Amino acid sequence: MTEDYFSDLTQEEKQILKNKGTEAPFSGEYNDFFEAGIFICRACKTPLYESNTKFNSGCGWPSFDDEIENAIVRYEDLSGGRARTEICCAKCDGHLGHVFIGEQITEKNTRHCVNSLSLQFKAYTNLEKATFGAGCFWQVEKIFKATTGVYLSSGRGCLACLGI
């Protein structure tokens, strides 16, 4: 059975995340928001963006030039009479917005244009850091990434695990 990540959302949030809507420009709570932390998917709580990748593009929506690894999936979007690249949460497939390449706005030449209603913010001051050691780091990282409340995890391979 598939988990319904959208059942606890407001109608406005569902319109964005489930029905691929777009909020009005300059209306979202995260457009001019620049605190240190992590932006997570409002529906499934998956970490999507770190705040150090957010920038003011002037477009009216939160803009990021990079995502957390494997957090975003991309789809061709031909709606509205033009070709764009839609971005969605990799876990719940909730619509986030669109990504634009080649605008020369940042060094990475990428702009993720994201609806505030698809995001939730977790300040670094409200997060705790834990360090663990274990045998197979990749397996431990996989377990932590699947654990509710874990927002970022990073495994470092040992020589034996790398086959060296």
44, 89, 113, 161: the catalytic one is 113
Sheet strands side by side (includes 110-114): 54-55, 63-64, 110-114, 95-101, 84-89, 72-77
Q: Is 59 a catalytic residue?
A: no
Pick the closest to residue 110 from 53, 25, 153 (CA basis). Answer: 53
CA–CA distance, 17 with 95 (Å, rounded to integer): 4
CA–CA distance, 98 with 152 (Å, rounded to integer): 23
Residues belonging to the active site:
113
